[in-house]
Amino acid sequence: MDIPFFYETSLPATPELFTLSEESSKHCSVVLRMQPGESIALTNGQGLSCMGRIVSADKRKTVVQLTGHKQMERADPQNSIAISFVKNAARMEWFLEKATEIGIAAFYPLIAERTERTHFKKERWEHILISAMLQSKQVFKPVLHDPIEYKTLLNKAFDGHLLLAHCEDGPKQLIQSVDKNQAALLLIGPEGDFSPSEILLAEKAGATMISLGTTRLRTETAGIAAAVLLQHR
């Protein structure tokens, strides 16, 4: 049986007694019905991981003895995806969950010309990222940036490959051909795709046009395909 895995932002870096947050305490003592003496694993989402042995179980203040601290280094390259909002919020949440499990390091909610939805519940999305991180036994939580305008993102400095996927005709590369030793930021457009002027703007900014195959994909499906290809170049 897997040891339950918990997220604590204020996890100390040294062995000591530690009180879990109320959310973690409730899940540990009420949902999982764990008892003193049982073990859990913890991470702060910034690479720190450790073990904890339950000293006292309480739905509000479960206390654990921390041991075995280890600070992990994030594996390179750290790939990011900028993806346009879609009208169906559940589809975007599904994408965030799966792309986190795959190992994408950062997400930019993108506002393009044809983007129809421009708001989201950031707290809910952060919770989805945390749950997916724990589910996939990772110790780094992806960065969720604030929504950003397409032109603003193109003007940001980025140390790595800038890639753009679109459905228009024209020369394109496969992601597999992009240097795997450098990080990549890949842009995925809205349900109506990027406009011709946006594609031209990206080309002028030095972006590489890439192909995700011969079929037309939904925005969130394109995001998942891109995540897999980026992480397994």
Per-residue pLDDT tens over the stretch 15-57? 899 999 999 999 999 999 999 999 999 999 999 999 999 999 9
d(CA 4, CA 62): 14
In Å, how far from its chain's centre is CA 18? Answer: 27
pLDDT given at position 76: 82
Class of domain 5-71: mainly beta
Per-residue pLDDT tens over the stretch 89-120? 899 999 999 999 999 999 999 999 999 887 78
Fold of 80-231: Alpha/beta knot (3.40.1280)
Write out the two tokens for 53: 């042995």
Q: Is the pLDDT of residue 207 over 70?
A: yes
Q: pTM (2 decimals)?
A: 0.92
Domain boundaries, the chain: 5-71, 80-231
d(CA 200, CA 102): 30
Helix (H, G, I), strand (E, B) or coil at 48: strand
- N-term to C-term CA, the chain: 33
